[in-house]
A and B are shown apart, each in its own frame.
Chain A
Amino acid sequence: MAYSTKVLEHYNNPRNVGSFDKDDPMVGTGIVGAPECGDVMKLQIKVNPLTGLIEDAKFKTFGCGSAIASSSLATEWVKGKSLDDALGIRNTEIVEELALPPVKVHCSVLAEDAIKAAIKNLQEKQANSPQAVNS
Chain B
Amino acid sequence: MIKLPVYLDNNSTTRTDPRVLEVMLPYFTEKFGNSASRNHSYGWETEEGVDLAREQVASVINASSKEIIFTSGATESNNLAIKGVAAMYRKKGNHIITAATEHKAVIDPCMRLERDGGQVTFLPVDKHGLVSPQQVSDAITDKTILVSIMAANNEIGTIHPLKEIGKICKAKGVLFHTDATQAIGKIPLDVEDMGIDLLSMSAHKMYGPKGVGALFVRRKDPRVRIDAMLDGGGHERGMRSGTLNVTGIVGMGMAAEICRKELAPESERLLKLRNRLHEGLTSKLEDIYLNGHPVQRLPGNLNISFAFVEGEGLMMGIKDVAVSSGSACTSASLEPSYVLKALGLGDELAHSSIRFGIGRFNTEEEIDFVINDVVRAVNHLRNMSPLYEMHRQGIDLKTVQWAAH
Contact = CB atoms under 8 A, between A and B. Distances in A.
A106 B404 contact: no
Interface string B104-128: 0000000000000000000000000
B386 A34 contact: no
Contacts, number: 98
A114 to B, nearest CB: 10
Interface residues of A, number: 33
Interface string A24-42: 0000000111111111111
Contacts of B383: 17
B403 A39 contact: no
A33 B351 CA distance: 13
Contacts of B404: 33-34, 36-37
Interface of chain A, helix or strand or loop or mixed?
A: mixed
A106 B405 CA distance: 9
Interface stretch (A63-71, A76-84, A92-100): A63-71
Contact of A11 (B309, B316, B334, B402): B316
Contact of B385 (A38, A61, A109): A61
Q: How large is the interface on B (under 10, 10 to 19, 20 to 34, 35 or more residues)?
A: 20 to 34
A103 B332 contact: yes
A60 interface: yes
Contacts of B388: 62
A14 interface: yes
Interface in A1-46: 3, 8, 11, 14, 17, 19, 31-42
A38 B308 contact: no
Nearest to B316: A65
A76 B246 CA distance: 59
B348 interface: yes
Interface string B156-171: 0000000000000000
Report, nearest first, the 7 A-B pairs whose CB atoms are least far apart. Answer: A35-B348, A34-B402, A36-B347, A42-B386, A64-B312, A60-B386, A34-B404
Interface of A: 3, 8, 11, 14, 17, 19, 31-42, 59-65, 67-68, 103, 106, 109-110, 113, 117
